[in-house]
Amino acid sequence: MMRKDGRMNRINRVNRIKIGISILLAAVSIVLAVAARQAPGFAQWYGTHLYPVWVGSMGRVMGFFPFSVSEMLLYLLAACFLIGFVRKVFRRLAGLVYKPSSSRRRPFNINAMILLAAVLCFLYVANCGINYHKDSFSEISGISVEEYTAEELKEVCEWLTDRVAAYSGKVKRGTEGEMLLDIPLESHAVEAMEELGEEYSELAGYYPNPKELVNSWILSVQSLSGVYSPFTIEANYNGDMPDYYIPFTACHELSHLRGFMQEQEANFISFLACTGSEEAAFAYSGSLSGWVQCMNVLYRADYDAWEEVRERLPEEAEADLKVNREFWAKYDGRIAEVSNRINDTYLKANGQKDGVKSYNRMVDLIVSYYKMR
């Protein structure tokens, strides 16, 4: 009896500790989230002084792993749930009766789940949520967005077309004429971001290698090219998609590690990093990705101008666009639609009023950047 009472006391003490930690983490998360939205300058101060500490410590530790830790943890969590469910089903089918000692484990499991949820909530707020409310990259770097005419946009598209043509013949090509990455993507992506950090101090700092998911299908069915994990501070990318878009995606996800969470900002930063790289594959990836975005806007603004510029695109680039369309068409279904809606809601909830449309607003920044050159 004494042993049972002692064991129960230990279990209750551990449960109280878990609940206490959960409440503390939840409270801190709420305070930080409210401060980021309501306290002027707090998000900027946090993103400049505290967030880099997380990247330099937790991000550096995760960088030692050659695989995506967040992906492996996702599989581990799913396996735990599956094993627990299967065990429960087999016990029921076998007609086993739960003993009193078994029932006492339930609070432990529930408290563990509450603690896990609190930890994830805190990590999200600390490594992602607050940064949505810091100053934008364009504001800090002095790149002001102004109105522009369709003629000015056409000029930018012609400039990008020339850049695409200049690099399209310098990259390795596959059997279908598509670009093939024949350089170590991870190290060159980090190098491109570090070089950009020398020009823009707000982008300077430690960058871990971006990581290809072991099972990129998870991203493909959601129509995602990459994802930043705030829980492990990792930049993950879809390794199954066409190679021409991978360098641009890798730099996009790495830009989040400097605290720039707005998608249009991340796209623009990636554009600068790739087009400023001496590696032809990166310069081509950034130029063609920027070309696609700008041409989409020109198509709606002035179709005749779009058609005129469109005819100038080199055949090598046409092959990449064709392969890209065919790849994503395979995953254009219900899951991708639901994922897009969730992503749209998520972006709006974090201050991006245009939702997924904000991905195209990088065009405004590219035009402003071009006019400042």
Q: Is the pLDDT of residue 122 over 50?
A: yes
Q: What angle do CA 139, 51, 137 make, to 5 degrees?
A: 15
Beta bridge partners of 211: 236
* Closest-CA residue to 70 (of 198, 234, 295): 234
Q: Is the same domain home to 128 and 141?
A: no
Give the DSSP H/E element, type plus range, for residue 235: strand 234-237
Structural domain harbouring 19: 2-133
Where do runs of H (alpha helix) occur along the chain? Answer: 2-38, 42-45, 51-54, 60-63, 69-93, 100-103, 105-124, 137-141, 150-168, 185-199, 217-220, 246-255, 263-275, 280-301, 303-310, 315-329, 334-349, 362-372
Mean pLDDT in residue range 17-23: 92
Positive or negative torsion for Cα 273, 276, 279, 281:
positive
- Least confident range from 72-76, 119-123, 336-340, 368-372: namely 336-340
Q: Is the same domain home to 152 and 122?
A: no
Model confidence over 255-288: pLDDT tens digits? 999 999 999 999 999 999 999 999 999 999 999 9
Q: Is the pLDDT of residue 147 over 80?
A: yes
* More confident: 103 or 44: 44
Q: Is the pLDDT of residue 108 over 60?
A: no
| Domain end marker among 107, 133, 159 | 133
Q: What is the largest CA-CA distance in the chain?
A: 88
Q: What is the pLDDT of residue 93?
A: 76
The β-bridge relationship of strands 234-237 and 226-229 is antiparallel
User: Is the distance from CB of 224 to CB of 265 less than 8 angstroms?
Assistant: no
- Least confident range from 2-6, 154-158, 234-238, 277-281: namely 2-6
Q: What angle do CA 300, 304, 307 make, to 5 degrees?
A: 90
Q: Is the same domain home to 173 and 76?
A: no
Rounded Cα gap, residues 341 and 346, in angstroms: 9
Q: Is the same domain home to 37 and 94?
A: yes
Amino acid at 224: L
- Least confident range from 63-77, 140-154, 336-350, 354-368: namely 336-350
Q: Give the pLDDT band (50/70/90) at residue 357.
A: very low
Burial class (CB in 10 A: 0-12, 13-18, 19+), 322: middle
Mean pLDDT in residue range 225-248: 97
* Closest-CA residue to 261 (of 13, 2, 68, 46): 46
Mean pLDDT in residue range 347-371: 68
Q: Is the same domain home to 70 and 143?
A: no
**Domain count within the chain:** 2
Rounded Cα gap, residues 288 and 284, in angstroms: 6
Model confidence over 39-58: pLDDT tens digits? 999 999 999 999 999 999 99
The β-bridge relationship of strands 211-212 and 172-173 is unpaired
Q: Which residues of 20-41 are buried (b: 16+ CB within 10 A; e: fewer)?
A: eebeebbeebeebbeebeeeee
Q: Is the same domain home to 106 and 156?
A: no
* Closest-CA residue to 140 (of 208, 48, 46): 48
Mean pLDDT in residue range 198-223: 95
Task: Please give the full DSSP string across 154-202, using - where no structure is assigned.
Answer: HHHHHHHHHHHHHHHTSSEE-TTS-EE--S-HHHHHHHHHHHHHHH-GG
Percent of the chain with pLDDT over 90: 74
Q: Is the same domain home to 342 and 244?
A: yes
| Domain end marker among 87, 110, 133 | 133
Q: What is the pLDDT of residue 81?
A: 83
Q: Give the pLDDT band (50/70/90) at residue 346.
A: very low
Q: Is the pLDDT of residue 102 over 60?
A: no
Mean pLDDT in residue range 296-305: 94
Q: Is the same domain home to 111 and 145?
A: no
Q: Is the same domain home to 126 and 212?
A: no
Q: What is the pLDDT of residue 340?
A: 53
Q: Is the same domain home to 112 and 258?
A: no
Q: Is the same domain home to 7 and 117?
A: yes
Q: What angle do CA 114, 72, 88 make, to 5 degrees?
A: 55
Percent of the chain with pLDDT over 70: 86
* Closest-CA residue to 209 (of 227, 241, 234, 244): 234
User: Is the distance from CB of 152 to CB of 56 less than 8 angstroms?
Assistant: no
Q: Is 193 left (phi over 0), alpha (psi -120 to 50) or beta?
A: alpha
Q: Is 327 left (phi over 0), alpha (psi -120 to 50) or beta?
A: alpha
Rounded Cα gap, residues 169 and 316, in angstroms: 7
Give the DSSP H/E element, type plus range, for residue 237: strand 234-237
Q: Is the same domain home to 236 and 334?
A: yes
| Domain end marker among 81, 111, 133 | 133
Q: What is the pLDDT of residue 92?
A: 77
